[in-house]
Structure 1
Amino acid sequence: MPIRSRTNWRVQGPLLAFLLVSLALAFVVFRYFLLTFAVAGSVALMLSRVHGALSRRLGGRDGLAAALLALAVMLVILVPLVMYGVLIGQQAMAFLDWLRPHLEPQEWDRFWRETLPARSPAVARFLRQAGWQAPPLSASIARVTGAANQYFQVVLAGTAAVLLDLLIFLMMLFFLLRDGEALRESLRGISPFTRGQETELIEHLAGTVKASMQAMIVVPLIQGVVAFIGFSAFGVPSPLLWAVMVIFAALIPILGSPLAWIPAALYLLVNGHVAKAIGMAAYGVFVISMVDNIVKPMILKGAAQIHTMLGFLSIMGGLLAFGPKGLIVGPVVLSLVLSAYRIYRYDILRWREEEGLEMPPPETTATAEVEHEKSLAAP
């Protein structure tokens, strides 16, 4: 081996080992925040142009513009959750007002032996055939109280974790908006991509994130309209209130609209409207909930040029893999894969096919084939 090669390896070997160890330690420290960083980075990328325009209006104060945008994002997240919590609280108070008179021992016994069979004979018959007898009042109260206590503890712990995660997300979003351009320039020095490839990658990512955000706003509104039609058709009282609850429930990932239409179906069932309850449940499963699975991929296809099937799979896979954050991370991962595919096909393979010929710069090669990649999005 030449002396120079041995010398280079003696220098580069320890440097490479140091780099790998540093990256491994960094992963151990920051792994809990990588998913939050991915979401914050995606949102910051989508808002970068808005931040630039707002900063110019504020006289070049990037920090103030970033703080205002972070505050706006926080309001967009918290306001629907608070309003939904208020609606749930109102319904819970109304339920307690209805339940309080029935907690007297005589009323409790009368409810199970007379009221329930009269209002919903099918439910009473099912409970009788299953061998389920009316429980003593004290045992029922103890059981409900214990379950409510456990549920409250779980909700309290989950709420604290969500608020902490939201705080970290907002901090990341602020700094990424304020220092995003400087971070991009520092990464550009080690990036293997050309300027054209970087531009195409960033634009496709921004379009994908924007489409995901649009879907998160548009889909609940459509579900609310569809739910209002169903609630009115099946005789659910106050259909507009229930439809508003569907809109806010649809903003909650994973759980979504069933948080609203399942209680509506149960209300019909308890009041003896068995056929309407079954119809309401079927309408919720096959119509209200299916809006989410149909409209979101269509929005991704139209705004980000992503095939409908791939968009659907990226959303569902993201939810299963990453939870609520997967609504954004899933499509972003798909966008990265599609961008890598285009770069490989239109740049790397083109160079190999044109061996010995002078090729145009890669930044023109990738962008010249943008129209062709749109055809890939067609189903």
Structure 2
Amino acid sequence: MSTPQASAIHRALLIVVIALLMFLGYRVLSAFIVPMVWAGILAYVTWPGYQRLKRATGGPNRSAALMTVLLALVLVLPMAWGIYVLQDEAGKVMGRLTAQLSSGTLQTPGFIRTLPGIGHELEGFLDRLLHEPGALRAQLERVTQHVWGSAGAIAGGISRNAAKLGMTLVTLFFFYRDGEVLMAQIRTALQHLIGRRTNGYVQAAADMTRAVVIGIVLTALAQGFLAGVGYAVAGMDSPVFLAAITTLIALIPFGTPFAWGSVAIWLFAQGDVAAALGLAAWGTFVISWVDNIIRPFVISGKTHIPFLLVMFGVLGGLNAFGMVGLFLGPVILAVLVAVWRQWLEGEKAEA
């Protein structure tokens, strides 16, 4: 057998072995990809703080452990408090709604009766429901059974998410401790693949990643807080619960109006027109404008990424990867834009 043929067979076998190892590695790590991605996002966003802590404490193990514990407290304690408050307020909401339905005090709002074509039908349906205790009781029992039937699935989901959070924190410790070595290896591998442009690509991608993640989170937190203030002033009984839901919805571009708009419609349906109009005005001129200030300033101002691309990244990432896609989708598109721009600049420089 000639030497070129042997070399070709050797390369083909090497490619097959590497592809097989990569496939098997993916099968082994597939269950931990989401925690690894979350840990990578958290480590990268908080890396400057970790560097300051490392200089103050000395030693990678000590600083990585301390930073992980601090971040765990920042994440776990508010989440535990939020779950407690949400559970309490959600129970109160369901209790009041059930009590109103059972006692018949839940009346059709006046403006519903005046709706052309459907007003009388809606009023008649609600009256039949309220004046037939047997039908109402059966309906409430079906809802209760459905809720209890879902309790096991919810508990299982909470357990799985708690396990993922634990794996995220463990992975985060090692990302802090060995992050510099890992990034050096990634840079070396990229240099073998794309050459001297690696540093420009990595730096541009890093800047865009931090700006996108921070911009999305800050916008959602600000809108959720302002919405909570509006709910409290409007007289809603569960402002913390509603603010938490609004914060989650605010992670999705153009999602916030659906949150405060639904509350305003509820207030209007209950006959509290002044509170409904006030909340609608607060949402239109304050809550929604926060999105127009923070997101362009943090994301578009620093990275010059079109907002449309950020929106596609959030929605597409959510569809493709679940909750982590809210951050991973925009980051992927941001990295693509960074690589594209660096490549164009490199081509111009060479010309």
C-alpha distance in structure 1 between counterparts of 2:168 and 2:231, whole Å? 37
Query: After superposition, where does 1:309-328 map in structure 2 within 5 Å?
Result: 309-328=308-327
Query: After superposition, where does 1:18-57 map in structure 2 within 5 Å?
Result: 18-57=17-56
- The answer (yes or no) to whether the contact 2:234–2:279 under 8 Å persists in 1 is no
- The alpha carbon displacement at 1:16 in A equals 1.7
Give me the CA root mean square deviation. Answer: 3.9
SS in 1 for 2:212: helix
- The alpha carbon displacement at 1:252 in A equals 2.7
**Cα deviation digits, residues 7-45 of structure 1 (max 9, x gap):** 322322211211111112222222333344233223323
**Cα deviation digits, residues 307-349 of structure 1 (max 9, x gap):** 3332232223222322221222122212321232134323367
Residue ranges of structure 2 left out of the alignment (5+ in a row)? 114-118
User: In the alignment, which residue of structure 2 is the partner of 1:218?
Assistant: 218
C-alpha distance in structure 1 between counterparts of 2:189 and 2:222, whole Å? 45
SS in 1 for 2:310: helix
User: In the alignment, which residue of structure 2 is the partner of 1:372?
Assistant: none
- The alpha carbon displacement at 1:92 in A equals 3.5
C-alpha distance in structure 2 between counterparts of 1:160 and 1:93, whole Å? 21
- The answer (yes or no) to whether the contact 1:269–1:277 under 8 Å persists in 2 is yes
SS in 1 for 2:271: coil
C-alpha distance in structure 1 between counterparts of 2:144 and 2:168, whole Å? 36
- The alpha carbon displacement at 1:259 in A equals 9.1
Change (3 A) 1:293 1:165: farther
| Alignment counterpart, residue 133 of structure 1, candidates 121, 128, 132 | 128
Change (3 A) 1:25 1:132: farther
Change (3 A) 1:159 1:272: same
Q: Percent same amino acid at aligned positions?
A: 25
| Alignment counterpart, residue 107 of structure 2, candidates 107, 113, 116 | 116
- The answer (yes or no) to whether the contact 1:211–1:300 under 8 Å persists in 2 is yes
C-alpha distance in structure 1 between counterparts of 2:307 and 2:208, whole Å? 13
Find runs of 4+ consecutive structure 1 residues off by over 6 angstroms: none
Query: After superposition, where does 1:144-293 map in structure 2 within 5 Å?
Result: 144-191=143-190, 192=192, 197-224=197-224, 226-227=226-227, 231=231, 236-237=234-235, 242=239, 244-252=240-248, 261=260, 264-265=263-264, 267-269=266-268, 271-273=270-272, 288=287, 292=291
Larger radius of gyration: 1
- The answer (yes or no) to whether the contact 2:201–2:342 under 8 Å persists in 1 is no
- The answer (yes or no) to whether the contact 1:246–1:259 under 8 Å persists in 2 is no
C-alpha distance in structure 1 between counterparts of 2:128 and 2:292, whole Å? 41
User: In the alignment, which residue of structure 2 is the partner of 1:329?
Assistant: 328
- The answer (yes or no) to whether the contact 1:204–1:335 under 8 Å persists in 2 is no
Deviates more, 1:89-98 or 1:14-23: 89-98
**Cα deviation digits, residues 255-276 of structure 1 (max 9, x gap):** 8757964674465255334796
User: In the alignment, which residue of structure 2 is the partner of 1:64?
Assistant: 62
**Cα deviation digits, residues 211-251 of structure 1 (max 9, x gap):** 2342244213432465367548xx72159x72x54543344
- The alpha carbon displacement at 1:98 in A equals 4.2
User: In the alignment, which residue of structure 1 is the partner of 2:116?
Assistant: none
Change (3 A) 1:77 1:246: farther
Task: Give the structure-1-normalised TM-score.
Answer: 0.72
- The answer on 1:89 being equivalent to 2:87 is yes
- The alpha carbon displacement at 1:175 in A equals 0.9
User: In the alignment, which residue of structure 2 is the partner of 1:366?
Assistant: none
